[in-house]
Structure 1
Amino acid sequence: QEMPVWSEVPLDLLVSIGRCLNLIEDYLNFGSVCKSWHSVATKANFNNDLCRAPWLMLAEVEDNEVRKFFSLYNGMILNKRIPKASRKRCLESMGWLITVGEEGEISLLHPFSDVQIELPHQNTTVEYNEHQTGALTCFIGKAVLSTSPSHTSDYLLMVIDGGSRFLSFWRPGDIRWTRVKCEGIKYCSFTDMIFFNDQIYSVDYSGCLLVCDVADVVGPELTKCHILAQIPTEPQDMPEHLYILESLGSLFVVVRYGVKSRPPIREDSSRRISLTPIYPNDGTETYGTTNFGVFEVDLAAGKLRESKQVGDRALFLGANASISVQASQFPGVKPNHIYYTDDFVESYLFYEEGGGRDMGVYNIANGSFEPHYNGVSLSRVCPPIWVTPTLY
C-alpha cells in the first residue's frame, strides 16, 4: 500500500481541516507539514476569536533576538525572532507586548506579526522627574488594553506608572500620557486594573478596590472614583501584591504573599534555583511566593468574599494583564489553580540573575505548589511572562 502524499491533499479540504482546529499549537503544527499546508495556515483560515490559553514567553538570552514560547498544552517550544523586543522589559495585554526600553521609549508590539505602534516616551507623563524609576525599563508596572489594536483603532491603553504607581492612559493620536486624577481620593498606589462593563476597576497596595467610569477617565473633568470594597485582612497580613481579573462574568481580586524581601522559611529550601544577592546578606533575606488569597467581588453588596474554589477557572497572573481561562477547554491546564510568574521588580532586582525564580502553579484548594516550567529562565530586564497567542 502506497503512503499518502500529504502535499497533494486538495486545498479546499486543507482549509476545512484548518478551520476545525481550535488550539493555536495544533494550527502551527498543521502549517509545518509542508509548503502547501503552510500556504493554507493563514489568519483567514483560523478561528482567531476563540479563547486562548497563554504561552510562557521565556527570558531573553543575551545577544540573541530569538524568544522562546512554552506551551502548557504539549510542552512545545516555539522559537520566534523578535528583534524589536531585544533588551526591553515586556508587559502583555490581549496578545500584544508593551515594551519599555533602557532609554525610556515605549511601544506596543505584536510578537507574532511584528506590527509595532510607537507610544509617547515615558518622560511625557505628569511630573515625570519627581516619579521616575531608577531603572527606566521598570517605569510601567502594569498595562491593560480596553480592546485589541488588531481589531480597531478605537482603544485605550491604561498603565500603572512611575515610582508612585499612578494611573495614566494613552489613546491613538495622543502625543503624551494623561494622568487619571480621582476626585475626593488623595493618593493611591495601584497594583492592577481591568476594563469591565464600561468601567475601570483597580486595586491598590492598601487592599482597596476602586471603580470609575471609562467615560469619566477620558473626560476633561476630575474622575469620579469611589472605593467599592476593602480586602478583609488583619494588620499583620497586609497584601504584598494584588491582581484583579474577570472570569465568566465575575470579578476576582487575588492577593499574593511572600514576594517582598523577608527572612527565609523552611519551604524556601525546596526552591530549585539559587540566586546571588547583589548585596551579600549571609542568607538572612530572600523572597518567593508563600501563598495566595482569592476573593470574589460581590458588586451589589460592595464586599469581597474569600474562596478556596473557583470551579473550572485557571488564573494567569504576572506582568501580563490578569486573565482566566476555562481549564476544561485546554489540555494541560488545571482547574482551580493559579499560574504565576515572577513580577515583583522590587525584589528580584536585588539579585545578579534577576527575576524568573518565583514562578509556578498554586493549588487554590490545598495551598500546594508545583512548577509549570522545569527549565531555568532568568533575566534582570525581562523575566518570563504570560503571552496570549494570536496570529494578529
Structure 2
Amino acid sequence: MDILSVIKSRVFISSSLDMAITWSSGPSPDWTLLPKDVFGLVLDKLVDISDRVRTASVCKPWLSIAQDHSMRWLKPAPTQLPMLLVPTDDNSTTHRGLYCVDGNRVLGSRLHIPYSKRCCGSSHGWLIFAEEDLALTLFNPFSQETIHLPPITRVPTSEEIGESYYSHEYEIRKAVLSKDPSLAPNDYEVLALYGFCDARLALFQSGENSWVYLKQENYEEYYFEDIIYYQGHRLALGSKCCVYKVLVSVVSDGEGIIRLGCIKRLKSRAEQSYIVDCGDSLMWIDRFYVQSDYIGDDDDDDLGSSEDDADDHQDSTDEDDHDQDSSNDRATGYFEIDGKLYTYISDIHHLTSSFKVCQMKSIEGNIELVESDQLDGRALFLGHNHSCWILASDFPGCRPNCIYYMDDWMEAAYQPLGAIDIGVFSLEDQCTRPLYVPTPKQWELPPPIWIVPQGNPVNMLSLSE
C-alpha cells in the first residue's frame, strides 16, 4: 500500500491534526513531524511485515512510533515477502542489513545478528549457523532467541583434510526446520545436509540429545542436493535425480536411523536442483550456469557488463580472451561490480544463466515431471534458505513468474569476488538480471541469504547513524 495515499485519505478527517499540513504549492511538509496518532492510522493499515519494516526504516521518529505501536498490530498475513539479509553499509560484524525486493533497495535499518559467519540455513524466520565443532546454532533475529544443538558430525583431522581447504562454515551445506521452534518448542525437527563435497543426511528431533543418520552402508550411493518439508513429509533431492521420502526407524538399542523411500527417479543435467513446496503442488527446479556462451554486448543488461576500462588492479584481457577457450570449454567476458569491470571465467566464477521449472504431477498413478514456462503468478525464492514462494500480486513491486535466487555455490567463498551470483530470472523472457551485488569490501563478509520475517521485527530494528 502507498503510505502517502493512506495519509492523504486520513489527514483531513483527523481531529488530532493540530499542525497544518496542506497539499498546496509551497515547501514540502516535514513527514518526520507527522503526529503520532495520525501515523498510527497508517501503521494500522500495514498487514505485510515487509511494509512495516520499510515504513519503520524511513527515519528515527517513525521507527520510534512503530516500535511503540507494534503491540497494536493485528496478526500479520500468513504469507510474508522474503527479504535478503545483506552486509551493512559500514560492513558491521554484529549487524546485517535488509534488502527489499519489492522496493529494489537496501533499507536504512539493520538487525542485530551476533554471528559473523556464513548462514547454512534460513527457515521459519530462524537462521542456522555452524560452530567450529560443527554444532548448530539456531538464532531468531526477530526475537533474539537462541537454541544450541549438538555437533552434527566430528571435525575432520588434519590428516583427513590434507592440502584441501577447510572451513567449518561450509561443512553444513543446508539445514531446514519443520516448524517454528518458538511456536512448537517440543515438536520441531532440523533436517540437514552435511559434508562439503558430498552432502549426506542428518536429522535432529526436539527433545533428543543426538542426530540420526542415513544407514551407513548407503553413504556411497546417496548424496543430496536439496531438502524440504512438504505437507508434513520430509523430502530429499538426491544427486542421482531421485526424490526421496525420508523415514526414521528405531533400532534395537533405541537409536534412530534414516531410511529412504524413492518417490521418483528423474533425469537431469543441471548443476543444482531444488524441490519447492508451492502450496497445491510440488515443483522441481533445475539451475544452470554460464559455461560456454560468450558474455558480450547482447547480455549487458543481464549481467551488468560495461564498456569502461577494467580496474587497474584487475588483470587486463585482450579481445582474443573473449573467445571461448575450446580446450577448456569455458566462457570468458566482463561484468561490472560497484562501477568496476572484472573478468569472468566460467570455471572460476559461477553465474546463473537460466532455470528449468517442472511440476511433479500424478499421472495414471505415476509421478511425472511436466515442464512449465510460468509459475501461475508466483515468485520463488531459492538458495540455502528453506525454498519458498509468494503470490506476486500480493506484493506490488515483486515480479510474477520469476525466480529470485541467491549465490549458493558452495565454493563461492573461495572465489576472489565472493558471492556475486544474486539475481532474478524471468520465465517469460528467459533472462537473468542482477538483484544485489556486494561491494569489494564485502566480499569476505558472510554471503547474503533469504529470510522470511516473523512476529514483530520492527522491535529489533535499529537505524544506521
User: TM-score normalized by structure 1?
Assistant: 0.82
Residue from 180, 189, 194 that aligns with 1:148: 180
How much is the aligned-residue C-alpha RMSD, in angstroms?
3.5
Gaps of 5+ in 2: 1-17, 22-32, 300-331, 457-465
Return the letter of the residue paired with 1:199. H
Separation (CA, whole Å) in 2 of partners of 1:155 and 1:217? 18
Classify 1:17/1:284 alpha carbon distance in 2 versus 1 (closer, same or farther; 3 Å): closer
Moved more, 216-225 or 103-112: 216-225
Q: Equivalent residues in 2 for 1:359-378 (5 A)? A: 359-373=422-436, 376=439, 378=442
Q: Equivalent residues in 2 for 1:106-125 (5 A)? A: 106-123=136-153
Structure 2 residue matching 1:120: 3-state secondary structure: strand
Cα deviation code 1:277-321 (max 9, x no counterpart): 9xxx8x875421121111111144221111112111111011111
Classify 1:365/1:35 alpha carbon distance in 2 versus 1 (closer, same or farther; 3 Å): closer
Q: Are the equivalent residues in 1 in contact too, given 2:413–2:444 (CA < 8 A)?
A: yes
Q: Equivalent residues in 2 for 1:146-295 (5 A)? A: 146-153=178-185, 154-163=187-196, 164-181=198-215, 187-213=221-247, 216=249, 223-233=258-268, 238-258=269-289, 262=291, 265-266=294-295, 269=333, 271-273=335-337, 285-295=348-358
Max Rg structure: 2
TM superposition shift of 1:199: 1.6
Classify 1:221/1:24 alpha carbon distance in 2 versus 1 (closer, same or farther; 3 Å): closer
Q: Are the equivalent residues in 1 in contact too, given 2:384–2:408 (CA < 8 A)?
A: yes
Structure 1 residue matching 2:47: 3-state secondary structure: coil
Q: Are the equivalent residues in 2 in contact too, given 1:210–1:226 (CA < 8 A)?
A: yes
Structure 1 residue matching 2:393: 3-state secondary structure: helix
TM superposition shift of 1:146: 0.6
Q: Are the equivalent residues in 2 in contact too, given 1:133–1:162 (CA < 8 A)?
A: no
Classify 1:287/1:25 alpha carbon distance in 2 versus 1 (closer, same or farther; 3 Å): closer
Structure 1 residue aligned with 2:68: 39
1:53 aligned to 2:81? yes
Structure 2 residue matching 1:169: 3-state secondary structure: strand
Q: Are the equivalent residues in 2 in contact too, given 1:18–1:27 (CA < 8 A)?
A: yes
Structure 1 residue aligned with 2:417: 353
Separation (CA, whole Å) in 1 of partners of 2:156 and 2:207? 18
TM superposition shift of 1:353: 3.3
Identity of aligned residues (%): 25
Classify 1:141/1:375 alpha carbon distance in 2 versus 1 (closer, same or farther; 3 Å): closer
Q: Are the equivalent residues in 2 in contact too, given 1:183–1:223 (CA < 8 A)?
A: no
Cα deviation code 1:233-290 (max 9, x no counterpart): 4xxxx2211111111320001111117xx5663356463236689xxx8x87542112
Q: Are the equivalent residues in 2 in contact too, given 1:55–1:386 (CA < 8 A)?
A: yes
Structure 1 residue aligned with 2:20: 3
Q: Are the equivalent residues in 2 in contact too, given 1:230–1:303 (CA < 8 A)?
A: no
TM superposition shift of 1:327: 0.7
Cα deviation code 1:6-55 (max 9, x no counterpart): 54629xx94x764532222332355552745531213x624235211111
Separation (CA, whole Å) in 1 of partners of 2:333 and 2:128? 35
Classify 1:287/1:8 alpha carbon distance in 2 versus 1 (closer, same or farther; 3 Å): closer
Q: Are the equivalent residues in 2 in contact too, given 1:362–1:368 (CA < 8 A)?
A: yes
Structure 2 residue aligned with 1:24: 49
Structure 1 residue matching 2:184: 3-state secondary structure: coil
Structure 2 residue aligned with 1:72: 101
Classify 1:330/1:63 alpha carbon distance in 2 versus 1 (closer, same or farther; 3 Å): closer
Structure 2 residue matching 1:365: 3-state secondary structure: coil
Q: Are the equivalent residues in 2 in contact too, given 1:18–1:46 (CA < 8 A)?
A: no
Structure 1 residue matching 2:375: 3-state secondary structure: coil
Gaps of 5+ in 1: none
Q: Are the equivalent residues in 1 in contact too, given 2:335–2:342 (CA < 8 A)?
A: no
Q: How many residues align?
A: 375
Separation (CA, whole Å) in 2 of partners of 1:140 and 1:134? 12
